[in-house]
């Protein structure tokens, strides 16, 4: 088993939105921002190559299909994921599994691509099984007003049309070393993949805990549709991470890609050991 973290790009987000009710006087010590409260966030992908030949890709950034709709986020330093994979000897056709934590645009944009010189949109990974939760799929097709701007169905519908979509409604092992668990809060039915390496367990926490500063269970983004659920889901995830000494990979933290977690009293913080 081998893993590689790839940052597919960066974008600007409002710090107030990232930290919800927490005042800037508190969060500015935990995440860098400009005078106008702008924070740099990453869009991070995790590539897993298993000993038995599977190639798994977890999330894949915003892609390039909606430049006008996403211009306010000012995406920068975006990589071509196809080139990044080729540098590692992996063709798009060789990817066996695409795991999407959820279907918000900044996590699944590269799942489909426009055929050059046409309006046709096709799956980027033509041979991959694409794993999404049933709850998240239903939510994407029928979003509440709060989430309707977060979804572009062109990012996933061509995958469903091609028969490549696999929906799960409970914890599922998709490989002896990879389990997909489900979490609610930020949006219904987020997949959190647990990858068992030789000496550690990697947990790609997605938007359950987008950046290291959100390790504090009450530091919940204003984008979360069910904040109280987010609180309890974070505690559930973090208690296991502390107990099992798991390594957390953050999808959006531009400065801390991964860490272990310790608990002191009621507080969860980064630890290096
Ligand atoms: Zn999200």
pLDDT of residue 266: 87
Task: Over range 183-208, report the average pLDDT.
Answer: 97
Q: How remote is the CA of residue 52 from the centroid of ligand 1, in Å?
A: 32
Q: How remote is the CA of residue 102 from the centroid of ligand 1, in Å?
A: 7
Q: How remote is the CA of residue 258 from the centroid of ligand 1, in Å?
A: 18
Read off the pLDDT of residues 94-104 as tens digits, 9 standing for 90 and up: 999 999 999 99
Q: How remote is the CA of residue 101 from the centroid of ligand 1, in Å?
A: 9
pLDDT of residue 158: 98
Q: How remote is the CA of residue 223 from the centroid of ligand 1, in Å?
A: 8
Q: How remote is the CA of residue 176 from the centroid of ligand 1, in Å?
A: 28
d(CA 224, CA 108): 18
**Domain residue spans of the chain:** 2-194
> Which fold would CATH assign to domain 2-194?
Metallo-beta-lactamase; Chain A (3.60.15)
Read off the pLDDT of residues 23-44 as tens digits, 9 standing for 90 and up: 999 999 999 999 999 999 999 9
Q: How remote is the CA of residue 18 from the centroid of ligand 1, in Å?
A: 11
Q: How remote is the CA of residue 253 from the centroid of ligand 1, in Å?
A: 13
Does the pLDDT at position 255 exceed 70? Answer: yes
Q: How remote is the CA of residue 151 from the centroid of ligand 1, in Å?
A: 10
Q: How remote is the CA of residue 13 from the centroid of ligand 1, in Å?
A: 13
Burial (CB count <10 Å: 0-12, 13-18, 19+), residue 246: buried
Q: How remote is the CA of residue 97 from the centroid of ligand 1, in Å?
A: 20
For all residues of the chain together, what is the average pLDDT?
A: 95
Q: How remote is the CA of residue 207 from the centroid of ligand 1, in Å?
A: 5
Q: How remote is the CA of residue 187 from the centroid of ligand 1, in Å?
A: 7
Read off the pLDDT of residues 108-135 as tens digits, 9 standing for 90 and up: 999 999 998 899 999 999 999 999 999 9
The proportion of the chain whose per-residue pLDDT surpasses 90, expressed as a percent, equals 92
Q: How remote is the CA of residue 104 from the centroid of ligand 1, in Å?
A: 5
Kindly indicate the confidence band of residue 84, based on its pLDDT and cuts at 50, 70 and 90: very high
Kindly indicate the confidence band of residue 273, based on its pLDDT and cuts at 50, 70 and 90: low
Q: How remote is the CA of residue 86 from the centroid of ligand 1, in Å?
A: 28
Kindly indicate the confidence band of residue 51, based on its pLDDT and cuts at 50, 70 and 90: very high
Comparison of pLDDT for 72 and 253, the residue scoring more: 253
Q: How remote is the CA of residue 20 from the centroid of ligand 1, in Å?
A: 14
pLDDT of residue 67: 85
Q: How remote is the CA of residue 87 from the centroid of ligand 1, in Å?
A: 28
The proportion of the chain whose per-residue pLDDT surpasses 70, expressed as a percent, equals 100
Kindly indicate the confidence band of residue 53, based on its pLDDT and cuts at 50, 70 and 90: very high
Read off the pLDDT of residues 232-246 as tens digits, 9 standing for 90 and up: 999 999 999 999 999
């Amino acid at each position: 088993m081998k893993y590689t973290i790839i940052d597919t790009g960066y974008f600007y987000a409002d710090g107030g939105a990232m930290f919800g009710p927490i005042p800037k006087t508190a969060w500015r010590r935990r995440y860098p921002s400009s005078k106008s409260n702008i924070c740099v966030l990453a869009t991070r992908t995790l590539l897993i190559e298993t000993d038995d030949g599977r190639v798994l890709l977890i999330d894949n950034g915003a892609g390039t299909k909606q430049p006008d709709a996403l211009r306010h986020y000012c995406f920068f330093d975006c990589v071509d994921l196809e080139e990044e994979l080729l540098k590692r000897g992996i063709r798009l056709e060789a990817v066996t599994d695409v795991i999407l934590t959820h279907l918000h645009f900044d996590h699944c944009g590269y799942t489909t691509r426009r055929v050059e010189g046409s309006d046709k949109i096709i799956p980027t990974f033509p041979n991959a099984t694409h794993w999404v939760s049933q709850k998240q799929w239903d939510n994407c097709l029928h979003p509440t007003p709060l989430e309707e701007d977060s979804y572009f169905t062109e990012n996933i519908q061509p995958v469903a049309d091609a028969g490549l979509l696999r929906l799960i409604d409970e914890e599922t092992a998709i490989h002896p070393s990879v389990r997909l668990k489900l979490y609610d809060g930020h949006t219904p039915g987020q997949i959190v993949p647990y990858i068992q390496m030789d000496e550690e367990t990697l947990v790609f926490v997605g938007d359950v805990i987008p950046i290291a500063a959100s390790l504090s269970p009450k530091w919940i983004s204003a984008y979360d549709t069910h904040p109280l659920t987010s609180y309890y889901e974070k505690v559930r995830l973090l208690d296991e991470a502390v107990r099992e000494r798991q390594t957390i990979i953050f999808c959006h933290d531009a400065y801390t890609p991964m860490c272990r977690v310790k608990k002191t009293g009621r507080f969860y913080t980064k630890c290096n050991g």
